[in-house]
Structure 1
């Protein structure tokens, strides 16, 4: 069986990314947070099934704080997480001022929302209403 193990992404502010993840993935824990003397900070945060490898821009990177335009140029378009209690997460993200991403249609067997974090990465958050694969992955 194949599953997503991790996504490695450079972010302009690791602490801001961790604050966003505290809302959308409360079961994720920091596995490692390293700042080498001669290097850049990186953090692995996740659970026993998957994790995100976050790293700060390299010192010699050109324009590290420029946002990528999703669906327009190369890079990550969005990151999908399966969550519990989507309505509660959606409300917290809205209350904290996070910007909504693309719209998702109303579906019978799952709920989805898209939000951008402070770095400009778009996240698809999905809560499945069914545990039957034929229903979970039905594209209505």
Structure 2
């Protein structure tokens, strides 16, 4: 039996293109596919050959839940990078504020709140 791995995460956002563009810029990913999603919405798959994030929307504004208190809510998306400092500089240049920096065995990390207040953890094990 082959070991299991996470292929993708599908996140509802107000502007899929904004989220996809940010992920491409910060992490060097590419748009793997885009087109009509469930219910006539727009889905953009952005990532690499092995895994990706789906930025999905049916349009309109939604009230975001308190992510750490709502069952089924998305707490954050974790992304591993080689150069944490370079990605942090890109995050700042994109207008976002890194927070909750930490060194822990075996790596370093920070978080930032991206589009729609979706928290993204950036971690390096280098």
Determine if the TM-score, normalized by the shorter chain, exceeds 0.5: yes
In proportion to residue count, which structure has more strand? 2
Using the alignment, how far apart are the partners of 1:20 and 1:58 within structure 2? 19
**1:65-117 deviation line (CA, Å, top 9, x unaligned):** 3223221223100011111211011011112211334x143235311111111
Superposed, 1:1-140 pairs within 5 Å as 1-26=3-28, 28-35=29-36, 39-57=40-58, 64-74=61-71, 75-101=73-99, 103-129=100-126
2:113–2:119 CA contact under 8 A, matched in 1: yes
Deviation (angstroms), 1:5: 0.9
Q: Which has the larger radius of gyration?
A: 1
In proportion to residue count, which structure has more helix? 2
2:96–2:114 CA contact under 8 A, matched in 1: yes
SS in 2 for 1:12: coil
**1:8-63 deviation line (CA, Å, top 9, x unaligned):** 1111011210222023321x211111147x8111111111110112211367xxxx
2:78–2:122 CA contact under 8 A, matched in 1: yes
2:7–2:51 CA contact under 8 A, matched in 1: yes
Q: RMSD of the TM alignment (CA)?
A: 2.1
Aligned residues: 122
Query: Structure 1: 5+ residue runs without aligned partners?
Result: 130-140
Using the alignment, how far apart are the partners of 2:23 and 2:65 within structure 1? 19
Query: Structure 2: 5+ residue runs without aligned partners?
Result: none
Normalization by structure 2: what TM-score?
Answer: 0.83
